[in-house]
Amino acid sequence: MPAAPAAGIRTKGRIQRMHSVLGDRKSVAILLGPALLVYSLVMLLPMLWSLGYTFFTGSVISGFTWAGTANFSKLLDDPALPGALWFTVKYAVVITVGQVLVGYLLSLLYVFFLRRAGSIVRTLVFFPVILPTVAVALLFQKFFEFAPQTGPVNAAIEAFGGTGIDWFSTPGNAFFVVALMDIWRSMGFYAVLLYAGLLDIPDEVMEAASIDGASTWRLIRSIIVPLSLPVLVSSLVFSINGTLKAFDSIYALTGGGPGSATTPLTLYMYQTSFAYGDYGYGSTIALTLTALCLLVTVFIFRGTRRDTGLG
């Protein structure tokens, strides 16, 4: 058995060498340096640059002039901003709740009712996640079309004696289609994420509870929900993260319309900077979005800390 001690010595030696390497400032700098440099160049620098723009007005064409805090006072007077801010928050809350709730229900379905055929259903439900957003948006546009052709949804409404709805011409209806599309598009992802969490719940606990006569509802309320709370919170964090920054699905589906009724901060920022050529004010809107994200992040972290404290 001479191999074992030799291998042990080799491993020990490797660990020692690693310690000496990681203890050396120079090697740490060499290892981290390139990544830090690239990160600084492509992330930090543009962010600081954008922050700098908030004090200027103009664009790359007209040139930039110092504006002081004019952009910030404009922010307070801008009649379009409250609408965009409200839409962003409304969208984030509705979609986050929708995504996680539907995902959770699906994952419960996978675990309790579809143990055998689960993989096929899981695949089908997951499919929209990997479809390109623009393709899904076009699909929904056609699906809810009112004119010149009547889409399947309106055709169905008319078949049942109702009158077709012009889905994209009123803010409420347009928001409904946006929400429906985004929940449909991402529920598969959250279902898989939460399914993985549910699989971690020990079968023994469930069995014991069943033997004690607990109903399905009781099982869900007293065992499954508390034990899957950490993964549920992670899902909420993931979801709110993505929905506050939503851009592509809304841009492709409604273009922010009708009028500006479905324009979130991201789209408003993009239009202001690139279509209206006002980089300074666009950056100020971006800063507003950053502040909003920071607020939500702080809120979530405080909330989760309390969670783990209780657990």
Partner 1 sequence: MASVFKPKNLLAAAGVVALALSTAACGGGGDDSASGGSSAKNFSFLAINENTTIASTLTTLSQKECATQNTAQPLDIKKQAQASLDQQLQLLAGQGALPQLFTAANAPSLTSQLADNGTVLDAAAVSTGVQPAASSVIKALYDGKQLVLPTELNIEGIWYNKKLLADNGITTPPATWDDLVAAFAKLQAAGVQPISAAGKGGDGWGVTRWVGNYILRQQGPDALKKVADGQAKLTDPQYVAGADAIAALGKAGYFGKSPTSIDYATALNTFLTGKAAFIYMGSWALSDFNDESKNKIGADNVGFLKFPTVAGGAGTADQTPANVGTAIAISKKAYENDTNTQAWVKCIVDNYGTVALRDSSQITGFKTDAAVEVPALTKQIQDEIAGVQTSVLWFEAYFSAKATTVSQGNGGLLGGGQLTGEKFMQTVTSNLS
- Per CB under 8 A, 73 contacts partner 1: no
| Residue 303 makes contact with partner 1 by CB under 8 A | no
Nearer to partner 1, 73 or 123 (CB): 73
Q: Does 61 bind partner 1 (CB under 8 A)?
A: yes
Give the nearer residue to partner 1 in terms of CB position, either 63 or 311.
63
Q: Where do the H-state alpha helices sit in 24-79?
A: 25-39, 45-53, 70-77
The nearest distance, CB 103 to partner 1, in angstroms, is 32
DSSP 8-class letter at 260: T
Beta strands in the chain, from DSSP E residues, in sequence order: 56-59, 63-66
CB burial of 25-41 (b: ≥16 within 10 Å; e: otherwise) equals: eeeeeeeeeeeeeeeee
Q: Rank residues 107 and 154 by Cβ distance to partner 1 and give the closer one.
A: 154
> Residues 253-272: x/- map of binding to partner 1 (CB under 8 A)?
--xxxxxx----------xx
Binders of partner 1 among residues 140 to 179 (CB under 8 A) are 145-148, 166, 168-170
- CA 275 vs. chain centroid, Å, equals 26
Shorter beta-carbon distance to partner 1: residue 242 or 258:
258
Judged by CB under 8 A, the chain residues 8 through 27 that form the site for partner 1 are 26
CB nearer to partner 1: give 48 or 80.
Answer: 80
Size of the residue set binding partner 1 (CB under 8 A): 36
Among 33, 52, 68, 132, binds partner 1 (CB under 8 A): 33
**C-beta closer to partner 1: residue 166 or 210:** 166
Question: Residues with Cβ < 8 Å from 176, sequence gap 6 or more?
Answer: 167
Q: Which two tokens stand for residue 93?
A: 């809350």
Q: Contacts with partner 1 in 92-151 (CB under 8 A)?
A: 145-148
How many CB atoms are located within 10 Å of the residue 305 CB? 10
Inter-residue contact 189 to 100 (CB < 8 Å): no
- Asked whether the beta carbons of 250 and 264 are under 8 A apart, the reply is yes
- Which range of residues in 1-9, 61-69, 196-204, 206-214 is near partner 1 by CB under 8 A? 61-69
The least CB distance from residue 251 to partner 1, in Å, is 11
Q: Is the dihedral of CA 191, 193, 195, 198 positive or negative?
A: negative
β-pairing, 56-59 vs 63-66, is antiparallel
Distances (CA, A) of 233 to 31, 92, 100, 168, 251: 34, 15, 10, 33, 28
The separation between the first and the last C-alpha atoms of the chain, rounded to the nearest angstrom, is: 48
Selected from 42, 76, 130, 310, the binder of partner 1 by CB under 8 A is 42
- Name which of 182 and 278 has its Cβ closer to partner 1: 278
- State the residues that interact with partner 1 by CB under 8 A: 26, 30, 33-34, 37-38, 41-42, 59-63, 79-80, 145-148, 166, 168-170, 255-260, 271-272, 274-278
